[in-house]
């Protein structure tokens, strides 16, 4: 059941997990990985099966048998003592409870509303480019991929743009302890930052109770679930997920998109000549460099998947990045191709009830970002010796540390 040697947490695998994922798909597509204490699922159809059966494969991982690591437990204890304990709203619930919370955030990110935001998003993109275009160089992650989604989500929440840097720091801290690479001291530092964010947003929440504005926090503060207003624990958990989902994954996808264009200059030329292809390019980036490698489920009964028996209370890691290169669905899945047919069939935003509510917004940020970048920057090239693109070591997120580039200004 676990005959594939190696570990998902080995440094070389954290840097580039795809060869290991391919071995798992071919040799043990459902197998127990002791480093995660979970069954890793790597084939597309198996993941679709899991997503269709929340009654058997639950999102409520901690209430129904899932285990926290020592670092996660320490961080949660600190958070409970000094801030607001975690409760389950969107990510760790199943329908119908999930549906009640989901309807509160869906209206903020509908495709129709995102379409009305396009001029605003393009304005943010151009402002960011204006800040570095005359220099002829920038760190693409620091100067563009990070501030674009952070600025957009800050504006939507009603948080001043002066807090954009803090939003990134807080988001990293919210996700850090779940990455299986931190010791307890590092996890506690993350927890301290999370509590800092909680107290900041508690003040914003109290302000919006008194003086509502046209922003998401005001909407949530005055919303009702089952005839009652949300309490502070629920509001804090929803904001945690909006912050991390609203910027972390999009930042990573934007950075990966530029890295892939640098590695495939012929495809960058194609997109310059055929800008209508940028929409499919966005989907191929999300497929090929999946920003969230996996997410967890827990079994509510004895079951089996892919012919492998799985006991009740077992954790499963749904390997989206592995499934997105499954050649049964994506022929030559290990090849990056901006013209790929049905690139949008990827699982990077999940599927079913837990399909990412911010998918339309993330796609539009990438679409507007790369369209304007290719219009305004020419001869984009790496400033990294030997094209060494290093990623942040994390078990379930994939993002670059930095991406120094040089370019010529077109306009």
What tens digit of pLDDT does each residue of 329-386 get? 999 999 999 999 999 999 999 877 778 888 999 999 999 999 999 999 999 999 987 7
CB 402 within 8 A of CB 141: yes
Dist CA 147 CA 380 (whole Å): 20
DSSP codes, 103-148: HHHHGGG-HHHHHHTHHHHHHHHHHHHHHHGGGTEEEHIIIIITHH
pLDDT digits (tens, 9 = 90+) for 275-329: 999 999 999 999 999 999 999 999 999 999 999 999 999 999 999 999 999 999 9
Question: What is the CA 79 to chain-centroid distance, rounded?
Answer: 22
Average pLDDT over residues 19-46: 96
Q: What length is written for the chain?
A: 411
Domain ranges of the chain: 11-409
Rounded Cα–Cα distance for residues 106 and 88 (Å): 17
Average pLDDT, rounded, for the chain = 92
**Domain boundaries 11-409, corresponding CATH code:** 1.10.630.10
Q: Is 44 helix (H, G, I), strand (E, B) or coil?
A: helix
- Residue 98 pLDDT: 85
Average pLDDT (104-122) is 90
pLDDT band at 179 (very low <50, low <70, confident <90, very high): low
Asked if residue 7 has pLDDT above 60, the reply is yes
CA distance linking residue 51 with residue 49, whole number of Å: 6
Report whether pLDDT(139) > 60.
Answer: yes
148 with 258: CB under 8 angstroms?
Answer: no
Cβ-in-10-Å burial (0-12, 13-18, 19+) of 385 comes to exposed
CA gyration radius, the chain: 21
Taking a C-beta distance cutoff of 8 angstroms, is the pair 121, 358 a contact? no
The model's pLDDT over 61-108, given as tens digits with 9 standing for 90+, comes to 866 555 567 888 888 899 999 999 988 888 788 888 888 888 888 887
In whole angstroms, what is the distance from residue 397 CA to residue 344 CA?
Answer: 20
How far, in Å, CA of 244 to CA of 167, rounded? 9
- 3-class SS at 282? helix
Mean pLDDT of 9-21: 95
Q: What is the pTM of this model?
A: 0.93
Any idea what the Cα angle at residue 294 is, between residues 304 and 267, rounded to 5°?
125
Distance separating alpha carbons of residues 139 and 143, to the nearest angstrom:
6
């Amino acid at each position: 059941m676990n005959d594939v040697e190696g570990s998902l947490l080995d440094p070389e695998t954290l840097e580039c997990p795809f060869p290991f994922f391919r071995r798992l798909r071919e040799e043990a597509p459902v197998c127990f990985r002791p480093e995660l204490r979970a069954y890793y699922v790597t084939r597309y159809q198996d993941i679709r099966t899991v997503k269709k059966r929340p009654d058997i494969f639950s999102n409520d991982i901690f209430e129904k048998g899932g285990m926290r690591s020592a670092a996660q437990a320490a961080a949660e204890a600190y958070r409970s003592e000094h801030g607001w304990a975690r409760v389950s709203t969107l990510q760790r619930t199943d329908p119908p409870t999930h549906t009640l919370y989901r309807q509160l955030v869906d209206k903020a990110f509908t495709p129709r509303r995102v379409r009305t935001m396009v001029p605003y998003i393009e304005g943010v993109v151009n402002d960011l480019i204006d800040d570095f275009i005359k220099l002829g160089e920038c760190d693409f992650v620091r100067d563009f991929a990070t501030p674009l989604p952070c600025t957009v989500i800050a504006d939507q929440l009603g948080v001043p743009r002066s807090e954009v840097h803090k939003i990134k720091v807080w988001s990293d801290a919210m996700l850090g302890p779940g990455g299986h690479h931190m010791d307890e001291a590092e996890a506690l530092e993350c927890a301290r930052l999370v509590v800092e964010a909680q107290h900041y947003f508690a003040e914003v929440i109290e302000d919006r109770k008194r003086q509502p504005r046209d922003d998401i926090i005001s909407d949530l503060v005055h919303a009702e679930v089952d005839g009652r207003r949300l309490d502070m624990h629920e509001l804090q958990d929803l904001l945690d997920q909006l912050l991390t989902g609203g910027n972390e994954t999009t930042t990573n996808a934007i950075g990966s998109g530029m890295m892939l264009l640098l590695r495939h200059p012929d495809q960058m030329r194609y997109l310059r000549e055929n800008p209508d292809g940028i929409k499919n390019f966005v989907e191929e980036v999300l497929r090929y460099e999946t920003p969230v490698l996996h997410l967890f489920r827990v079994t509510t009964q004895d079951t089996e998947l892919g012919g492998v028996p799985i006991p009740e209370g077992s954790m499963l890691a749904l390997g989206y990045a592995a499934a997105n290169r499954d050649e049964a669905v994506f022929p030559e899945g290990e090849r990056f191709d901006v013209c790929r047919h049905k690139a949008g069939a990827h699982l990077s935003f999940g599927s079913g009830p837990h399909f990412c509510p911010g998918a339309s917004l993330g796609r539009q940020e990438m679409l507007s970002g790369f369209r304007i970048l290719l219009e305004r920057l020419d001869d984009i090239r790496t400033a990294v010796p030997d094209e060494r693109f290093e990623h942040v070591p994390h078990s379930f997120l994939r993002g670059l540390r930095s991406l120094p580039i040089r370019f010529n200004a077109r306009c």
